[in-house]
């Protein structure tokens, strides 16, 4: 992948060497990986190597360099360069984002399997880089996180009943509070989920919290080709459902999950009492393909009030208008909250236009899905 330059900063020589090897093996041809063991060495390589993404062992984040903590100093020195921090503690995510990291990933402890971590790390690198290149703009780190990560304190405003054209779905509609499962007369027979940055971890946690029986689930995660198949295979082993990368012609059946293939938009088409999937290349929407909006709009048109939409962590606003479309057609809609989202971009955009019926922390979303759909 042209112009993808990764700088790994890690004071563990053994893990750093392993990480560099894994990245060189997994990243597309043309990617460059450089490394540094200490903050001073890393600062020297910033101007020479000019990384597009920085990977940082979070154990170095609070190291003092020139009377400043290293991570905030790194944010200032490498302006507009995304920083992915990783560490062994679960509770470091909030601190990492407060100090300026774009993403924090939990690294397995010594002796635990590492393959899943390397897959997740690589997919996040490619998602961030693909979005940055497609948008032809820098996405930033500290400043972006400061603006995007915020805690909503008021209930989401609901949308109007009438369907609006996609290009007109901008005003915040007026609506009732959260609709309980008894308020929807139609049984839910399709669940649609959309996510981007940080989504592979969020989707994994949601699916691990679900149990059969459930209607078929269709998912768009912004992810490059090849990695969508690996992601589906991993979820197939880590959840209680059958998970596969979707292909055109797949019929959505209960207790099965379909991941949109990288580089192809995924839509649903109603056929009697069933839904069939179509996956095909198309122009990027919000600079991405697959697009959450493309999926959600098709679900709104084909399933209406018999569907449920869920929007999770991610940069930008892909999925916000489509989720509003779903809600206007009677679908239940859920959004991840600011406190638990890796990047509160897509859920925030959806919340602000009234597309989100209920905003919840990540660990509460599986129970809400089960309550509404079972």
Q: Where are the alpha helices (DSSP H) in the chain?
A: 13-26, 39-49, 70-77, 93-99, 115-135, 142-148, 199-208, 227-238, 292-302, 320-328, 346-352, 365-373
**224: which residues sit within 8 A by CB, 6+ positions away?**
123, 126, 127, 130, 262, 263
Which phi and psi angles does 187 have, rounded to 5°? Answer: -70, 140
Q: How far apart are CA 159 and CA 352, in angstroms?
A: 11
Q: Look at the alpha carbons of 45, 55, 104, 17 in this order and tell me if their dihedral is positive or negative.
A: negative
- Active-site residue identified among 31, 123, 196, 239: 196
Q: How far apart are CA 356 and CA 345, in angstroms?
A: 13
- Active-site residue identified among 35, 129, 222, 256: 222
Specify whether 196 is catalytic: yes
Asked if residues 353 and 293 have their Cβ atoms less than 8 Å apart, the reply is no
- Active-site residue identified among 10, 318, 321, 337: 318
Specify whether 250 is catalytic: no
Specify whether 318 is catalytic: yes
The torsion defined by the Cα of 257, 245, 291 and 311, in degrees rounded to 10, comes to 30
Asked if residues 101 and 140 have their Cβ atoms less than 8 Å apart, the reply is no
Q: How far apart are CA 40 and CA 8, in angstroms?
A: 13
Please state the separation of Cα 46 from the chain's center in Å: 28
Active site residues: 196, 222, 318
């Amino acid at each position: 992948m042209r112009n993808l330059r990764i700088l790994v900063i890690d004071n563990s020589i053994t893990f750093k060497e392993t990480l560099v090897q894994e990245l060189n093996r997994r990243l597309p041809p043309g990617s460059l990986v450089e490394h540094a063991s200490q903050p001073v060495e890393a600062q020297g390589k910033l101007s020479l190597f000019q990384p597009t993404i920085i990977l940082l062992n979070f154990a170095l984040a609070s190291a003092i360099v020139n009377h400043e903590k290293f991570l905030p100093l790194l944010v200032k020195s490498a302006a507009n360069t995304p920083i992915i921090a990783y560490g062994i503690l679960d509770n470091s995510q909030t601190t990492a984002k407060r100090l300026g990291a774009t993403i924090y990933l939990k690294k397995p402890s010594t002796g635990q399997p590492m393959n899943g971590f390397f897959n997740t790390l690589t997919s996040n690198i490619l998602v961030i880089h693909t979005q940055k290149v497609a948008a032809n703009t820098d996405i930033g780190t500290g400043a972006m996180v400061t603006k995007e990560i915020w805690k909503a304190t008021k209930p989401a405003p609901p949308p109007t009943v009438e369907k609006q054209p996609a290009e007109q779905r901008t005003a915040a509609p007026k609506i009732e509070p959260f609709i309980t499962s008894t308020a929807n007369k139609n049984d839910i027979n399709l669940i649609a989920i959309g996510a981007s940055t940080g989504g592979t971890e969020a989707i994994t946690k949601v699916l691990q919290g679900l149990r059969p029986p459930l209607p078929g689930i269709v998912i768009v995660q912004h992810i490059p080709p090849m990695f969508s198949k690996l992601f589906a295979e991993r979820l197939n082993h880590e959840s209680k459902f059958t998970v596969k990368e979707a292909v055109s012609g797949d019929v959505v059946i209960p207790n099965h999950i379909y991941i949109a293939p990288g580089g192809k938009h995924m839509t649903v088409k109603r056929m009697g009492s069933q839904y069939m999937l179509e996956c095909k290349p198309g122009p990027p929407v919000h600079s991405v393909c697959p697009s959450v909006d493309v999926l959600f709009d098709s679900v709104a048109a084909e399933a209406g009030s018999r569907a449920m939409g869920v929007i999770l962590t991610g940069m930008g606003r892909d999925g916000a208008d489509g989720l509003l479309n779903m809600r206007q057609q009677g679908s239940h809609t859920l959004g991840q909250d600011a406190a638990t989202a890796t990047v509160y971009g897509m859920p925030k955009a959806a919340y602000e236009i009234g597309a989100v019926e209920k905003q919840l922390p990540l660990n509460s979303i599986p129970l809400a899905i089960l309550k509404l759909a079972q």
